[in-house]
Amino acid sequence: MKIKHVTEQFSISDQLVPEDLATLAESGVDILICNRPDGEAAEQIDFAELAEAAESHGIRTFHIPFTSGHLDAEITREFGECLEDGKRIHAFCRTGNRSFSAYVAAQARQGAALNDLLELAKKVDIDVSEPLKPYFPEIPMDKTKPANTSSGAAKASFDIVIVGAGSGGIAAASSIKKRNKRLSIALIDPASDHYYQPGWTMVGGGVFDAPSTRRSMGSLIPSGVKWIQQAVAGFDPKANEVQLDNGDSVHYQNLIVAAGLKLNWSGIDGLEQTLGKNGVTSNYRYDLAPYTFKLVSELKQGKALFTQPPMPIKCAGAPQKAMYLSCDHWLKKGVLKDIDVHFLNAGGVLFGVSDYVPALQSYVDRYNANVHFSHNLTAIDGENRVATFKAADSDEPVSMEFDMIHVCPPQCAPDVVASSELADEGGWLDVDQFTLRHKKFDNVWGLGDVMNTPNAKTMAAVRKQVPVVASNLVASLDGREVNLGYDGYGSCPLTVENGKIVLAEFGYGGKLLPSFPAWMLNGTKATRSAWILKKQILPAVYWHAMLKGHEWLAGPKPLKDVQN
Ligand code: FAD
């Protein structure tokens, strides 16, 4: 926790962890305000967990979340109402900047003098031009910027700016550098760690340990690429600029948006408060995947639920993979007969490409799992262990008790993309599905989960998309024709038991696109060779080939071939 004391009564900091609450309580904090929406970053602790820790120390809490650049009058009013005279107040967000902006705006709303507020801004070195604009419209903007903030400095500019240093962002930076070393590239991502998310299913199944799926971000940034550890808070594609969380702007010639998707935990009532306890888990978070295996190992009898939200989601097979690996464990331990297993799927089929369904159905039968289609999880009461669903065939909500529940959260585009000119009406990045170039802005490209392309949102898809974007972008910078295309390839290794996988590989329209001949690896059947690929080969391919710009089995195809 990096604390900045603004006044004797008010302080700000970056993201807290539960252990920080004891320190804040000791320093006399009475009131805690969180200005960060839950789920902004994978490793972020949810507000509910922090509030519980704060309240155990007698600290009152308020959640007033907003995304950077979206401080409005209502948030300012709410924030101001929390600033009780005589109380010690601490506010936090990702860096502390948003909390400080809300504080100065609330003070200005209550009539504080501009000079006093500028003194405070100088003390903590935060630009307050935007939050103060509505209250002091006659003051020139540069007067509101402390002289030593980076916002006053010359604007950084790069040939290529990549937003998001996940699977797509890092791989694209490496791949472009391999094609043209001279291009200047900036990778923008606030996260300190990078995750191999496909490993989380294996963590939940007790096959991998969680730390093997994590590396520090700094260790993965390709040499010669500038890492800006900030979140992008806005896109201005007409000015070829992105705005950062700290108020800076970065200029680009070409932009790649690879910001992934947002896991919308708060879309299910009661879920955030109970995740990680009361038998409620999810392999969709690094810190929770080990809890899945703990629950599975401890359950000897009772009722286990596995849920799947409406599409699109990343790795559409992951919700049922969690079920198969759990059932396999219970079968091998001889307790499956005493466990009532239910798979509750908002959709209407077991898997979107029918060729793989017979193999999957045979495992559903083997494990005697009850499959409920058109059942969408809407609420969880963790303490009473009850899950509620909206079912297509019932006007009334359907409730089910559970001993454990594995939840796959609903998913949507990140707010910063959805609220920008780059989004389609669903909020996703609006690109051509073959060239991956933006439909309106020629110098903007997409990669990975953030796009509106109708492929399976998987790391395997990203592996095939990266060479297409890297080649097309470099060609366009050289004034050459953009002539390579992405065929919609995605892959989902369905872990039907510990030791066997149904390896679904398909492209646009559900066309099967196997990487190996059937005699070597038949993807429509459960095979040991696919398990070895997933467990032993693919993690190494990810860390040592894909993220380093080696394009194993991922060569791009001519555009005209994929368009037909
Ligand atoms: P990500 O890798 O998620 O990266 C997005 C990055 O953007 C993050 O680093 C984030 O910090 C950053 N970011 C977000 N907002 C901002 C912002 N405002 N400014 C700057 N940076 C930002 N795929 C497979 O191929 N096979 C599998 O078996 C498989 N299993 C999976 C199992 C689970 C449980 C999960 C969760 C995923 C699985 N996947 C699998 C899917 C795969 O991990 C994703 O599809 C892939 O990581 C997408 O890559 P991406 O670059 O689009 O996004």
Q: Each residue of 198-236: pLDDT tens digit?
A: 999 999 999 999 999 999 999 999 999 999 999 999 999
Q: Whose CA is nearest to atom 38 of ligand 1?
A: 198
> Alpha carbon 490 to chain centroid distance?
19
Split at pLDDT 50, 70, 90, the class of 192 is very high
Nearest one of 381, 273, 341, 304 to 38, comparing CA atoms? 273
- Please identify, by atom number, the ligand 1 atom nearest to the C-alpha of residue 417: 18
> Alpha carbon 72 to chain centroid distance?
25
Please give the pLDDT value at position 147: 46
Split at pLDDT 50, 70, 90, the class of 143 is low
Q: Whose CA is nearest to atom 27 of ligand 1?
A: 198
Q: Which residue has the tokens 């286990």?
A: 304
Q: What is the DSSP string of 353-365?
A: SGGGHHHHHHHHH
Each residue of 458-488: pLDDT tens digit? Answer: 999 999 999 999 999 999 998 899 999 999 9
Ligand 1 site residues (CB inside 6 A) read 41, 163-169, 188-191, 197-198, 200-201, 231-232, 258-260, 283-284, 314-315, 318, 414, 416, 448-450, 457-460, 462, 491, 493
Could you tell which of 264, 431, 449 is best to mutate to test the pocket of ligand 1, judged by most ligand atoms within 8 Å of the CB? 449
Percent with pLDDT over 70 in the chain: 97
- Please identify, by atom number, the ligand 1 atom nearest to the C-alpha of residue 166: 4
Q: What is the mean pLDDT of residues 351-367?
A: 98
Q: Whose CA is nearest to atom 12 of ligand 1?
A: 164
Q: Lowest mean pLDDT of 36-40, 217-221, 378-382, name the range.
A: 36-40
Q: What is the mean pLDDT of residues 6-25?
A: 93
For residue 259, pLDDT over 70 is answered with: yes
- Please identify, by atom number, the ligand 1 atom nearest to the C-alpha of residue 263: 36
Q: Report the chain's mean pLDDT, rounded to a whole number.
A: 94
Please give the pLDDT value at position 148: 44
For residue 139, pLDDT over 50 is answered with: yes
For residue 149, pLDDT over 60 is answered with: no
Phi and psi angles of residue 203, each rounded to the nearest 5 degrees, phi first: -65, -45
Higher pLDDT: 429 or 95? It is 429
Please give the pLDDT value at position 151: 44
For residue 519, pLDDT over 50 is answered with: yes
- Please identify, by atom number, the ligand 1 atom nearest to the C-alpha of residue 289: 34
Cα of 322 to ligand 1 centre, how many Å?
A: 18
Q: What is the mean pLDDT of residues 378-401?
A: 97
Tell me which residues are annotated as active site. 315, 492
Q: Whose CA is nearest to atom 52 of ligand 1?
A: 448
Nearest one of 319, 318, 366, 363 to 344, comparing CA atoms? 319
Q: Which helix (H) or strand (E) holds 415?
A: helix 415-418
For residue 422, pLDDT over 60 is answered with: yes
Split at pLDDT 50, 70, 90, the class of 145 is low
Cα of 18 to ligand 1 centre, how many Å?
A: 26
CB 129 within 8 A of CB 108: no
Cα of 194 to ligand 1 centre, how many Å?
A: 9
Nearest one of 436, 441, 440, 438 to 472, comparing CA atoms? 436
Q: Whose CA is nearest to atom 35 of ligand 1?
A: 197
Measure the CA–CA gap between 226 and 161, rounded to whole angstroms.
9
Higher pLDDT: 70 or 403? It is 403
Nearest one of 24, 84, 87 to 53, comparing CA atoms? 24
> Which residues lie across from 232 on neighbouring strands?
244
Nearest one of 555, 552, 547, 551 to 174, comparing CA atoms? 547
Q: Which residues contact 59 (CB under 8 A, 6 or more apart)?
A: 21, 24, 25, 29, 30, 31, 32
- Please identify, by atom number, the ligand 1 atom nearest to the C-alpha of residue 191: 11
Measure the CA–CA gap between 190 and 68, rounded to whole angstroms.
13
For residue 142, pLDDT over 80 is answered with: no
Higher pLDDT: 283 or 39? It is 283
- Helices then strands, each counted (H, E), the chain: 17, 29
Q: What is the mean pLDDT of residues 249-270?
A: 96
Q: What is the mean pLDDT of residues 92-118?
A: 91
Q: Whose CA is nearest to atom 45 of ligand 1?
A: 458
Cα of 176 to ligand 1 centre, how many Å?
A: 20
For residue 150, pLDDT over 50 is answered with: no
Split at pLDDT 50, 70, 90, the class of 152 is very low
